[in-house]
Structure 1
Amino acid sequence: MSKVLLVIGHPDLSQSKANAALVDAVRDLAHVTVHDLYATYPDFQIDADAERALLAEHDVIVFQHPVFWYNTTPLFKQWQDKVFTFGWAFTMDGSSSQLAGKKAIVAVTAGVPGDHYTPEGANQATLETLLSSWHATLRLCQFDIQPMVKVYGTAFGLSDEDLAIAAKQYNELLASFAA
């Protein structure tokens, strides 16, 4: 059984509808550890050693956050800067990092509908393109990158039924790592 670490970077999960629904859908899975960065570090003082130890204990790492200005949230970015350090998370000589081979999933929620995230849409780019720094970071850290999980329309247009479907699919995805 693979141990899954869900690193959640929502500034106020108690006020979230979509991110909270995703977390709630997987919280009771025995092999999933939910790690809320904003609850753990309200002062933004990240314990990088503790975070690295947590990453080392898990086989699958899920990075979940709402899209903030086509990026991750501020604390999540700071977390990346403090935790993904040279020599531990990545190397330059081709040797293996401490994260090499671990599966990584980026799971994001976007306020506007999916058609905004197309070359023809309002944003003129896909979420994968706009969040390409995630892919580059995960590749540098030698993660086994899995497909991105995307939930669109969380501020405009996502029905309760569609959110329930997304939460169920999220549960099924993370549950699949228990096999």
Structure 2
Amino acid sequence: MSKVLLVVGHPDLSQSTANSALVDAVRDLANVTVHDLYATYPDFKIDVAAEKALLAEHDVIVFQHPVYWYNTTPLLKQWQDQVFTLGWAFTMDGSPSQLAGKKAIVAVTAGVPAEYYTPEGQNGTTLEALLSNWGATLRLCQFDIQPMITLYGTAFGLSEEDLSMAAKEYHELLASFAA
């Protein structure tokens, strides 16, 4: 049975409709650990050893965050900078890292509808292209990268029904990895 770590990088989960709905949908799953970075580190002082230990004891790592200026949130970025270190999270000589082979999923919410994230849309490109740094980071760390999960329109246009369906699908996906 795989253990899933959900690393949540939302600055105020209690004020989020979409991110909190996704987290709430999986909170009760056996073998899923919900790790809210902003609740754990309100002072931004990350316990790197504790974070590495958490990663080491899980088989599947899910990185969930809202899109902030076409990127991740500040604390999640700081977490990456401090936890994904040379010799532990990645190597330069091709030897296996401590994260090698673990499954990784990036799950993001975007305030605007999906059509904004097309070559013809307001952003002029896809969300996947804008967040390509995730793919590069996860490849460097030798993760087994799974498809990105995207939930669009969270600030504009996401219906209760769409949110409920997204939460249900998220639950099913994480349950499938934890089985």
Task: State the Cα distance separating 1:178 from its structure 2 match.
Answer: 2.7
After superposition, residues 4-153 of structure 1 pair within 5 angstroms as 4-153=4-153
Q: Aligned to 1:101, what secondary structure does the other structure show?
A: coil
Task: Give the alignment's Cα RMSD to 1 decimal.
Answer: 0.4
Instruction: List alignment gaps of at least 5 residues for structure 2.
Output: none
**1:177 Cα offset (Å):** 1.2
Partner in structure 2 of residue 166 of structure 1: 166
CA distance in structure 1 between the partners assigned to 2:63 and 2:101 by the alignment: 16
Q: How many equivalent residue pairs?
A: 179
CA drift of 1:166 comes to 0.3
Superimposed CA distance per residue, residues 91-114 of structure 1 (whole angstroms, 9 cap, x where no aligned partner): 000000000000000000000000
Task: Provide the rounded CA distance (Å) in 2 between the counterparts of 1:124 and 1:52.
Answer: 37
What is the letter of the counterpart of residue 76 of structure 1?
L
Q: Distance in 2 between matches of 1:94 and 1:73?
A: 30
Question: Quick one: distance in 2 between partners of 1:32 and 1:24?
Answer: 12
Q: Distance in 1 between matches of 2:131 and 2:111?
A: 15
Structure 1 segments, 4+ long, off by >2 Å, are: none
Provide the secondary structure at the position in 2 that maps to 1:91: coil
Q: Secondary structure at the match of 2:138?
A: helix
